[in-house]
Amino acid sequence: MKWTRSETLALAQQSCSYCYGLGLRPGRAGVSTPCNCVFRAIFRACHARFKQCASREKHISRVSLEANPGRQRKSVWGLKDEEFIADFCLVAKRTLSDREHRVFKFHFLLGADWKLCCRRLNIDRGTFFHEVYRIEQKLGRTFRELEPYALFPVDEYFSGTPRLVPPGESSFKVETEEAPKAKPILKFPLKKAA
């Protein structure tokens, strides 16, 4: 995935001392990389939507009919709120280490404050907040770069509309090598019309 300035500019923190609010910072070999403040913003947006979905009354859940891509284009019924909650938790579990997942579970899923987490996990305050920032950065990158369906942008996840692709192009790109053009072996003489 290629990150662009227009994508990161709105997510960047204006007071960031690394990217100065631009969202991209210079990386190795002159390639710009997204700043960590962008990844934290992505995670916080997904976490806010997670809390909204989890706190909603279960009998108010919305069922939606979605078209599956493919030849048959069969439609399926889905519960988007529950799917987002499950995706959020499962992606975090697969991405994080055991120690990071324990901090994630206590602080982000169960809502414990830093004092309770430090006491429960037997770590000091500084270590706790460093872990929290590292978790937000790691999951923010993962939520955005997840293939084929990313959790961020959240509105695209819930609306089911993929990113706009110009007409005539497929959203699935397959790179193939071009075969060298062969020179014709025989030349046929052209017949002149009489």
Residue 124 token pair: 């000091």
Handedness of CA 52, 53, 59, 61 (dihedral sign): positive
Q: Of 56, 39, 65, 55, whose CA–CA distance to 138 is shortest?
A: 39
Q: Flag whether 70 is in a domain.
A: yes
> C-alpha angle with apex 16: 25 to 163, nearest 5 degrees?
60
Write the pLDDT tens digit of every residue in 61-92.
Answer: 677 777 776 677 777 777 888 888 999 999 99
Q: How many CB atoms lie within 10 A of CB 59?
A: 5
As a dihedral over the C-alpha atoms of residue 98, residue 100, residue 105, residue 108, rounded to 10 degrees, the angle is -170
Q: What is the CATH number of the domain that holds 96?
A: 1.20.140
The more confident residue out of 31 and 162 is 31
β-bridge partners, 79? 63
Confidence band (pLDDT; 50, 70, 90) for 5?
A: confident
Q: Is residue 166 part of a domain?
A: no
**For residue 37, is it left (φ>0), alpha (ψ between -120 and 50) or beta?**
alpha
Higher pLDDT, 27 or 99: 99
Assigned domain for 75 exists: yes
Q: For 17, phi and psi rounded to 5 degrees?
A: -85, -5
In a domain, 140, yes or no: yes
pLDDT digits (tens, 9 = 90+) for 163-173: 544 444 544 44
pLDDT of residue 59: 66
Query: What's the average model confidence in pLDDT over 137-145?
Result: 92
In a domain, 167, yes or no: no
Residue span of the structural domain in which 126 resides: 5-159
Number of domains comprising the chain? 1
Residues forming beta bridges with residue 76, ordered by sequence position: 66
What integer pLDDT is reported at residue 115 of this predicted model? 93
Cα separation, 25 vs 35, in Å, equals 6
pLDDT, tens only, 151-160? 888 777 777 6
